Amino acid sequence: MARKSLFLSLQNVSSVSKFLTVSPETLKLKIEAAKNRIHVDVGFWGGLVPDNTLNSSALESLLDAGVLGLKSFMCPSGINDFPMTNITQHSVAKTRLKL
């Protein structure tokens, strides 16, 4: 998948929030929990949050673990583990991922 599609939040794309994850370990747990229980094609979104915008290895590890892309909220998400980001954090993450 082309990494230029990672910043879908800038394109106003939404998805079911319970499938968001901000670490490869959590992604692995979600994939294991879904095995043999889901009978449709599913994908998991990675989360771009303030804590990982400066850490390109954290973002790369999410992508390498198989997330479809990265999603973020630029307003309060209502999800404690998924705080909002701002345009500066988006720019930093894009630069670190060389997008």
pTM: 0.68
Q: Tell me the backbone φ, ψ of residue 38, rounded to 5 degrees.
A: -115, 130
Identify the band that residue 4 occupies on the pLDDT scale cut at 50, 70 and 90.
very low
In which residue are the tokens 């990672």 written? 6
d(C-alpha 46, C-alpha 97), whole Å: 14
What is the structure's pLDDT at 56?
A: 84
Q: What angle do CA 34, 39, 2 make, to 5 degrees?
A: 75
Q: Domain segments of the chain: what residues? A: 3-96
Q: Which residues contact 84 (CB under 8 A, 6 or more apart)?
A: 72, 73, 74, 75, 76, 77
pLDDT band at residue 79 under the 50/70/90 scheme: confident
